[in-house]
Structure 1
Amino acid sequence: MSAGATAFNRLSSVDLAAPGRKSPVAGAPELSKILASASELVPMLRERAQATEEARRVSEATTQAFHQAGFFKLMQPARYGGYEYGFTAFIDVVSELARGCTSSAWGCSLGAIHQWLVATFPEQAQDDVWRDDPSAIVCGSYAPATVAEKVDGGYLVQGKWLFASNVDNSQWALLGVHFPPEEKGAAPTAGFLLAPRSDWTVEDNWFVAGQAGTGSKAVVLDKPTFIPAHRKLSFAEASSNQPPGSTVNRNPIYRIPFLSAVPVCLVSPILGTAQGAVDELIRLAGHRVTRGAVAGGGNRLAEFFPVQSRLAEASASVDAARLLLYRDTAQVEQMAADGLPISIEQRIRNRRDHAFTARLSRDAVDAVFACVGGAGLSLDQPIQRMWRDANAISRHISLNWDAVSSMVGQYLLGLEPKGQY
């Protein structure tokens, strides 16, 4: 029964022939091999999950295992040893890892997706990051936290950037800033700058109830620091159908606008967590015997109707979430492969479904957690950690249903959509 129930939610992960599941790089490992490596790591990640939470970071050992499996090469350009797979392959791998440990999968997710994002920067910036160390990975804090001062050849930047996930294992940081107006009377613009580890320090301020193991601490530039102009990418460039790096990296995945697909790095961990919760409830219900407060004692958890019903609900929610996410992502990849621009309608629909996938996944974990009773509150019971992690992810500003859904409603009603798409 366990294998069959789990298979319900895995059918959709293999039935979409998307361009992103194929690597154009000669000698790149088959996706099936990379995914098998992810599956093999799940037991280890599950075993280390509580220690990861207590350490408030992903360990060096786990990060090294991700490097050895090639996960950070998944979307990296071939010029630096990468495989140039797309976002659908990314979802496959990261959601599988999250079955074992949400925080570890989140760290891998951000590290791997930033390889794609750096590939949309100008060529010289990519060389700065990877020429001497092709294995370098990048943490990031997207919100513009300060105003960059324009100087000869680049910018001076100082400030603090919060929520830089996996910062302890990263060699570079992607920093959100406001850029001064290019012309008199124009408004400031926003975007990213890349800074090496030698430029910044880490402020250990990550003490949270969920996603504690992500190590999402602050990056600090405590004095004005020069960053050359070629390490700049504006939000407008990132959101275009032709960012600077796409002229160097010919693969069409690097022409996909930033917000049309990048939020899958936030959604894939919660999707995999929901699947992990379903798996754990199936395992737990098969052998746990409830004591019962007044009645019902001595029966297996699997024999209770509410458990059966909530398991069905959770399973359906995970499957629906997968189908939405894969459908949208595969379509965007195909449009990019066909040289078609990603329309505003497509972008807003994708943003809706990123947030709704997160909501469905959180609801699935909520349904599972409702079944486990008082014993499920124990810190060594993984479902309570999955519940805290899933609820933390669903509150990320990019997945906040109130913010995203209002933007979608505005668009559907013919109003100017107010939000990021």
Structure 2
Amino acid sequence: MDHGGTTTRGCRYLTDRQVPRIVRGKNKAAPGEDKDAHATGRWLVEVGDSADETERDLHRTGLCRMLQPPRVGGADLDVGIIVDTCAAIARVCPSTAWNLGNLASHHWMLGYYQPAAQEEIWDISRDTLIATSLAFPAGRGRKVDGGYEVSGRWPLSSGVDNSDWNMLAFIVRERDDGPPVDQRFALVHRSQYEIIDTWHAVGLSGTGSKDVATRNLFVPEYRTLTAWALNGKPHPGSARKRNATTTGQPVGASVTVQIKVAKAGAHIDTAEMMMRAVCSHAMEIARAGREPRHEDELRYRRDAFFSVRLCLEAVNILMTV
């Protein structure tokens, strides 16, 4: 089916031009409405929606499936579109933007698993949400007959309350005191792990980035993925925040403030350009049917690190305003 049509599940396919239009519509809040942000306990919604309403909107518009393979009804858009989408949504609700960026990219990650794992999830529902915790040292595993035995307690599993599945990172050792022999992701159903409410943060409180834990869990081979399959790939970024006033006078009236804001803005714009360049280069390689070279992967990591550093410096600059 061509992009722009409707799937049998009623979910819109998305195009690069449709996404910004959907996001613009979602960003239209009533005057003063964004001042009354409230935590739902799962996602923070700053336009008056409930968590369930926000999740329904993300499914209805197809935003959660921006990167999902087209054979299961996904839009299969260029990876760069997720940067624009999350940046726009974060102007209204940073927590929703954070979770969307994570959850949408996990459909892309699932596409790297064996077909049996993909079918186990997408044959039931193509809209299924999958959380992750990518802290490899938090999980440990050993090879057993037919799969891996995995244990651990993983932090920062964003959107875990909304998700039916989770991808948990773990390090494989042949013996407890032995060296690592592999790093893998385990695809685990929510009935097989405990959700621990540890997320009481001030910032991004609505992401629900709680801990999850499991012990001596058998995970079949087909539900695991070596980390090398995803190595060197770009990760979606986050968004700029709105400006504010801190005195009775407009902040922008101060020349000193203008200089600092301009410097911070240059940092953010440079970081954004670097992210877009990485996404564009990765898509060129994918379209050509090639694998990234080692120097490409090093460049992606370098630019990702430096983009984050620029954004951190921009925040520090603005904190002095």
Which residue is 2:143 aligned to? 150
SS of match in other structure, 1:366: helix
The alignment partner of 2:187 has SS state of: strand
Q: Which has the larger radius of gyration?
A: 1
SS at structure 2 position matched to 1:227: strand
Deviation readout 1:368-420 (Å, 9 max, x if unpaired): 3433xxxxxxxxxxxxxxxxxxxxxxxxxxxxxxxxxxxxxxxxxxxxxxxxx
Partner of 1:177: 170
The 8 Å contact of residues 157 and 225 in structure 1, kept in 2 or not, is answered as: yes
> What SS does structure 2 have at the residue aligned with 1:358?
helix
In the alignment, structure 1 residue 38 sits paired with structure 2 residue 33: no
Find the residue that maps to 1:210 and give its secondary structure: coil
SS in 1 for 2:313: helix
1:271-350 correspondence to structure 2 within 5 Å: 272=239, 274=240, 276-277=241-242, 280-281=243-244, 284=245, 289-290=248-249, 300-350=250-300
Letter in 2 for 1:163: L
- Aligned equivalents of 2:289, 2:318: Cα separation in 1: 43
Give the equivalent residue in structure 2 for 1:260: 233
Counterpart of 1:365 (choices 306, 311, 315) is: 315
Q: Which AA in structure 1 matches 2:297?
A: R
Q: Name the counterpart of 2:8.
A: none
Which one-letter code corresponds to 1:38 in the other structure?
V
Q: Which has the higher strand share?
A: 2
Give the TM-score taking structure 1 as reference length: 0.66
Query: Residues of 2 paired with 1:106 and 1:362: CA distance?
Result: 17
Is 1:215 the counterpart of 2:208 in the alignment?
yes
Paired with 2:217 and 2:276, the residues of 1 have a C-alpha distance of 41
**Among residues 86, 105, 110, which one is paired with 1:113 in the alignment?**
105
1:24–1:83 Cα contact (<8 Å) kept: no
How far apart in 1 are the matches of 2:281 and 2:35?
36
The higher-RCO structure (CA 8 Å, 6+ apart) is 1
- Quote the offset at 1:174 in angstroms: 0.2
Percent identity between matched residues is: 26
User: Deviation string for 1:152-181 (max 9, x for gaps)?
Assistant: 322332332111111111110001112345
Structure with greater proportional helix content = 1
Q: 1:118 to 1:38 in 2, by over 3 A?
A: same
Letter in 2 for 1:289: G
Could you tell me how far apart the structure 2 residues matched to 1:41 and 1:25 are?
21
C-alpha distance in structure 2 between counterparts of 1:345 and 1:61, whole Å: 44
Aligned to 2:305: 355
Q: Which runs of 5+ in 2 are unaligned?
A: 6-12, 45-50
The CA RMSD over aligned residues, in Å, is 2.7
Which one-letter code corresponds to 1:47 in the other structure?
D
Q: Quickly say closer, same or farther: Cα 1:313–1:329, change in 2 above 3 A.
A: same
| Secondary structure of the structure 1 residue equivalent to 2:102 | helix
**How far 1:362 sits from its partner (Å)?**
2.9
Partner of residue 408, structure 1: none
Q: Would the aligned equivalents of 2:264 and 2:314 in 1 still touch at CA under 8 Å?
A: yes
Distance of 2:124 and 2:59 partners within structure 1: 16
- Is the 8 Å Cα contact of residues 171 and 197 (structure 1) preserved in structure 2? yes
Secondary structure of the residue aligned to 2:38 is helix
Any idea what SS the aligned residue of 1:31 has?
coil
Q: How many residues align?
A: 303
Q: Distance in 1 between matches of 2:251 and 2:81?
A: 36
| Aligned position for 1:55 | 41
Alpha-carbon distance change, 49 to 105 in structure 1, aligned in 2, over 3 angstroms? farther
Q: Secondary structure at the match of 1:133?
A: coil
In structure 2, the CA distance between the partners of 1:83 and 1:161, relative to structure 1 (3 Å rule), is same
One-letter identity of the residue aligned with 2:294: I
Q: Does the CA contact (< 8 Å) of 2:3 and 2:15 recur in 1?
A: no
User: Is contact 2:154-2:168 (8 Å) kept?
Assistant: yes
- Asked if the contact 2:143–2:174 (Cα under 8 Å) also holds between the matched residues in 1, the reply is no
Sort the Cα spacing of 1:260 and 1:163 in 2 relative to 1 into closer, same or farther, 3 A. Answer: same
In 1, distance between residues paired with 2:295 and 2:142?
36
The answer on 1:233 being equivalent to 2:219 is: no
Query: 2:141·2:150 contact (CA, 8 Å) conserved in 1?
Result: yes
Aligned partner of residue 27 in structure 2, secondary structure: helix
Of 154-163 and 319-328, deviating more is 154-163
- After TM superposition, the score normalised by the length of structure 2 is 0.85
Give me the whole-angstrom Cα distance separating, in 1, the residues matched to 2:283 and 2:158. 26
Q: Post-superposition shift, 1:205?
A: 0.7
Report deviation, 1:48: 7.9
Secondary structure of 1:103's partner?
A: helix
- Answer yes or no: is the 8 Å Cα contact 1:49–1:100 preserved in 2: no
- Partner of 1:87, secondary structure, is coil
Amino acid at match of 1:236: W
**Match of 1:216, as an amino acid?**
S
